[in-house]
Structure 1
Amino acid sequence: MPTLYSYKESGNSYKVRLLAAFLEVPLEVIEVDFLGNEQHGDKFVAINPKGEVPTLVDGNLVLTDSAAILVYLAGKHSGPYHETTSPGSRISGWWSSDVVEQAQVTDWLAFAASWVQYGVFTARAILSFGGPYNGLGTASMEQTLRESQTRGEKSLKVLDQRLARTEWLALGRPTIADIAVFVYVALAPMGDISLEPFVHVRAWIERIKRLPRFIPIDGLDDPLYRRRESTGKA
């Protein structure tokens, strides 16, 4: 059984747990005390020198990035492959063996690692966890928050335009592209970025939540829970 080093409120860790739930793939999940800085301790850094979660260990294989883990699990566990109309191309649920289709999915994995990471991710981290957690740290917190909220709103516009034309981000079906982008977008209100103007994004979020074996993460239904906890208000 693969071992996943995770933090329950990490959206990147949640992406892996969510895909594993969809695929019904068992994982041994080891919770890392992220806010207590356990990820930078000697024991964890020996596994992942970057000191980040999620980290997946499967035998001799160690993967230290959520996108790489999604690709690995989807490629390995998506189930039987089916031939498509393109010669030599096969699909399997959340991934594909066709290089063009892989590129289309990867395009959105990159969007999650750039637009989403430095937009809605960063705004959520600052307002709900007290820091950007993005490795930058060269600007004031106030400036970083303003910039991340601006970038977050731009990314939501990009998504809304895409989802006005199609129900899913790539290949006309749910793929790891949707999982990679979904979580921090759905949690955007935790960074005071409203989803209300983006009707197609909100409909897409609800489609994902209705998929069989969907599991939630804190903040989906209550984006202010962390700030209430920090102020001691019920």
Structure 2
Amino acid sequence: MIQLYGHELSGNSYKAKLMLSLLGLDYEWVKVDLLAGAHKQPEFLALNPFGQVPVLVDENSILADAQAILVYLARQYGSQQWLPLEAEPMSRVIRWLSTTAGEIRQGTESARLFHLFKATSINLEWANQKSEFILTQLNNHLAEREWLELGHPTIADVAVFPYIALANDGKISLQAYPNVGAWIERVKHLPGFIVMIGIEEPAAF
């Protein structure tokens, strides 16, 4: 049985849960109480010395980092739809995993941490600027396509989705980005889609 260690308010934990659900995989959810510091205890650090969620355990494989978990699940249990093996299409998908860990983390994810978790060490002005930048880029990129790459859902969409859909938690409005809003609704209508706190059920088409 696959085990997924995470927290219900973690967007990175959610993207791993979402991928498991999209693939129709059974798993055991193991809550890591971040507010109580469980991620810094020896038992959890034995799984991930970085002290971060999510962590996925699949028999003898222990995987940390949400993007790495998406790659693993796509290759181990999914089809090439989710992560192709050919060099160019694979690189197009991987680019968005890097964007997730870069511009999106610096932007909407950081703004959410500031407002929702009172992470006052974050430079909010910088986070807002980065949010505007990446949302503008996404909105332009989605102007003539339904999915981020390859004309169908991939792990690029799963990776980018959570912290864009959770932008409101960081007091970032998506009103000026209609293509992003339409893409969010398309993701929500994928078979196997699940919600989290801050991400509601899809609107009816």
What's the TM-score, normalizing by structure 2?
Answer: 0.94
Deviation of residue 16 (structure 1)? 0.6
Aligned: 1:61 with 2:49: no
Aligned: 1:105 with 2:93: yes
1:31-85 Cα shifts (integer Å, max 9, x gaps) = 0001111100111111110000001112222111111100000111114xxxxxx
Q: 1:160 aligned to 109, 124, 139, which one?
A: 139
1:134-154 Cα shifts (integer Å, max 9, x gaps) = xxx4xxx4xx11110110111
SS of equivalent to 1:164: helix
C-alpha distance in structure 2 between counterparts of 1:188 and 1:174, whole Å: 21
Unaligned stretches of 5+ residues in structure 2? none
C-alpha distance in structure 1 between counterparts of 2:28 and 2:172, whole Å: 34
C-alpha distance in structure 1 between counterparts of 2:8 and 2:90, whole Å: 29
C-alpha distance in structure 1 between counterparts of 2:200 and 2:129, whole Å: 23
Unaligned stretches of 5+ residues in structure 1? 80-91, 223-234
Amino acid in structure 1 at the alignment position of 2:71:
V
Amino acid in structure 1 at the alignment position of 2:178:
V
Task: Answer with 198-207 or 21-30: which moved more.
Answer: 21-30
Q: Which residue of 2 aligns with 1:31?
A: 31
What's the TM-score, normalizing by structure 1?
Answer: 0.83
Q: Which residue of 1 aligns with 2:14?
A: 14
**CA RMSD of superposed structures (Å):** 1.4
C-alpha distance in structure 2 between counterparts of 1:202 and 1:16, whole Å: 22
C-alpha distance in structure 1 between counterparts of 2:59 and 2:192, whole Å: 26
1:104-138 Cα shifts (integer Å, max 9, x gaps) = 10000000000000100010011011116xxxx4x
Within 5 A, what are the aligned runs for 1:129-168? 129-131=117-119, 137=121, 141=122, 144-168=123-147
SS of equivalent to 2:193: coil
Q: Which residue of 2 aligns with 1:212?
A: 191
Deviation of residue 221 (structure 1)? 4.1
C-alpha distance in structure 1 between counterparts of 2:77 and 2:200, whole Å: 30
Aligned: 1:117 with 2:105: yes
Q: Which residue of 2 aligns with 1:174?
A: 153
| Dislocated runs of 4+, deviation >2 Å | none
SS of equivalent to 1:43: helix
Amino acid in structure 2 at the alignment position of 1:204:
W
Higher relative contact order, chain-length normalized (CA < 8 Å, sep 6+)? 2
Q: 2:173 aligned to 173, 181, 194, which one?
A: 194
Within 5 A, what are the aligned runs for 1:32-111? 32-79=32-79, 92-111=80-99
Q: Which residue of 2 aligns with 1:227?
A: none
